[in-house]
Chains A and B, each alone.
Chain A
Amino acid sequence: MEMTRRKMLNNSRFLCFMLDNENYCIDILRVKELMGMTDITPLPGTPGFIRGVINLRGLIIPVIDLRLKFGLPFRDYSKRTCIIVVEVTYENEIVLMGIVVDAIQEVVSIPEEKLSKIPYINARIKSEYIKGIADTQDGIKIVLDVLKVLNEKELAVVKETAAVPKAETVENTK
């Protein structure tokens, strides 16, 4: 038990989710919260992958659909569809953003040595989003870099939609 705890501390922890029958992971420290699918208020005049905004305990946060961002076909949201609320830093400000994924699987700890930096060549996803490939017991998982998923322009749009209260949260976390 002590060994595993240590092991867990030594290793970086990742949240695994499913997107179009493929396993992806993101750094758990970037994850603020997990939630089921709620009503999304659509925003006009924004790119297609920005589905709209949700109210997370008083906070208005933008939600993007990763499928659409990755150029995958849109799928109707089901019971399994979840929103991962992540923290993104933009212009030294922490911005909260919801990412719609097909399903959340588990929290895994991947040791540094298992995380290969070899860029994963995937036709569907641009390699710049990919941090590396993790070879786990459950199979190969693609580790995404959340910060690189959205470019500057998009992050600006996200930030505009997120508005003021986020600064406080950024301050709070700091």
Chain B
Amino acid sequence: MKNKTGTGFRIMMMAVVLTVISVIVGVIGLYTTKTTGSLADNIYQQDLLCILYTDQMHSYLQTAAYTIEKAHDATADELKAYKEQVISLNSSFQEADKQGRLCLETDRGKELYSVIEEAEKEYLSNEFKYFDLIAAGKSKEADIIADTVLDQLLSQKIKPAIEELSKITQAKAVKEYSMSIHTADFAVILIIAAISAGLILSLTIGIIVTRSITKPVTKIVNSLSDSAGQIAISSSQLSASSQEIANGAQEQASSIEETTSSMEELSSMVKQNLASVRQASLLSEKATEASQTGFDKMNDMLTAMNSISKSAEDIKNVIDVIDDISFQTNMLALNAAVEAARAGEAGMGFAVVADEVKNLANRSSDSAKETAGMIKDALKNVETGLSISNELSGIFRDILNNSKKVLEMNREVESASGQQDEGIGQVNQALIQLDTVVQTNASGAEETASAAEELQGQVTIVNDIMDDLYEVITGKKYTGSRISSSSPKSHTGPVKSVAAAHSLPVKKTVPAAGGPKTDGKQAVSGSVKKTAAAKGSLTKDEHVISFEDDEDFKPV
């Protein structure tokens, strides 16, 4: 049953088989009828004719015998007539004999016929003799011939032969009759058997084919029914899913609103940032300039310090010279003192002067020393000042570099802020696109829900068709389990309302994102209120639609 032959082909095959069977039955009937007919023909052709011919032969012989008896007392004319009669009879006999010989084609028959022929010839010759004797008037001799030879021939040869022939023919006819009856009975039995066999075969084939059609069809109906149920479930799930999608779209819409307002704040912040950064970069430019001037001044100061230290060096040289001079003076004074001492009493005054000169030289030397120390201190201070100035110069350079870097960074931050501003604009654009996509999603969910609804309607129609098909095929009402698909249908109603409620506020808020902040906020709050209202209507819708279920579910 599992082979993949189509139902039409099967029915065709069944018709072919039935035709073949009926043809076979007809052929059998025809054949048997023909056999019976031929048998009857045989009976007629052979047996009946044989019997007829033998009978004719018998009657001819009797007529001949009678003619002979008559001829006994007959005149010559009469005798002549009798003789002619006998000759005609003999020819008729001969004819019958010929015909009968054709009918009976057995050895015994042929033998018998030949015997009869010979006997008849003999008989005819004796008869002619008889007639001749009669004609001659020798009636006694004729009687002797008639009584002895003719009677003997007739009774001993021809008659038993004819009788045996008749018997044989009769037996054969009886045999053939019984055979024909047998054949007819057999034909009847054969026809009945063929008919019954054809009936049984047709019935079995019919049952098998019917089964082979109804079973899969029932199966198909069952599975189709199941599938329809599954489709119904799936469509209800689809409906629920589209509901969820719609809810998601709602959430997305609200998120987009929030994002839009956040983006607005961000945008204003970025703008503020940009302004601050510009100010900062102006300030840092000034700072850079200031540090540059500081650095320059520092360098001036460094050169001034260097010149101071050079001057101090010169002063030191001068002081050295002074010191040298005072040393020389001292030496001179000492020499003078020595000279004075050596002069004795005379050099006493000179010694005093020398002493004074020496004192002066000592004082100038001390002063020079002091000045040199001071200069040394000053030089030291100048050196520390120089090193501090150098450090300061380095610090100023660092400050300058850093402020330059700060300026660069400020510029980078400025450009970055500008890019941020642009990016926020792009994000806003993207949000608008996102909003349209969300709206498309919502409408898509709505369409999906309505499609699911339609699908459920189609499922009921399919179920009805299944029922009809089942009834057509099996003649029974379909009693198989059917999966109900009515329960989740209540979702399809609110989906529309949610989508409708959502498309409104989103459209309002998104273009407002570019505009002033307060307007956007108002729009957002308004949309929130509207969504809340939509949610309220959603619950109401659910209540309302649960009543409509049964009406909606009927197939259109």
Contacts and interface: CB of A to CB of B under 8 A. Distances in A.
**Bind each other:** yes
Contacts of B355: 107
Contact of A35 (B330, B331, B337): B331
Interface in A5-33: 5, 8-9, 13, 15, 28-29, 31-33
B350 to A, nearest CB: 11
A1 B324 CA distance: 31
B348 interface: yes
A34 B334 contact: yes
A104 interface: yes
B348 A5 contact: yes
A106 B358 contact: yes
A79 interface: yes
A9 B348 contact: yes
B256 to A, nearest CB: 96
Nearest to B348: A5
A15 B334 contact: yes
A82 interface: yes
Given A8-B351, A106-B358, A36 B328 contact: yes
Interface in B332-350: 334-335, 337-338, 341-342, 345, 348
Contacts of B358: 106-107
Given A34-B331, A79-B324, A79-B327, A28 B338 contact: yes
B324 A107 contact: no
Contacts of B352: 1, 5
Nearest to B338: A31
Given A5-B348, A8-B348, A34-B334, A29 B341 contact: yes
B10 to A, nearest CB: 142
Interface residues of B, number: 17
A107 B327 contact: no
A36 B326 CA distance: 13
Given A9-B345, A79-B324, A36 B338 contact: no
Nearest to A105: B334
A53 B91 CA distance: 222
A82 B331 CA distance: 9
Interface in B300-346: 324, 327-328, 330-331, 334-335, 337-338, 341-342, 345
A174 B338 CA distance: 18
Contacts of B338: 15, 28, 31-34, 107
Given A5-B348, A79-B327, A106-B358, A34 B341 contact: no
Nearest to A6: B348
Contacts of B341: 13, 28-29, 107
A36 B329 CA distance: 11
A44 B337 CA distance: 35
Nearest to A1: B352
B342 A29 contact: yes
Nearest to A108: B337
B342 A107 contact: no
A107 B331 contact: no
A36 B352 CA distance: 23
Report the 10 A-B pairs with minimum CB-CB distance, sorted nearest first: A107-B337, A28-B341, A13-B341, A31-B338, A34-B335, A34-B334, A5-B348, A34-B331, A28-B338, A104-B334
A12 to B, nearest CB: 10
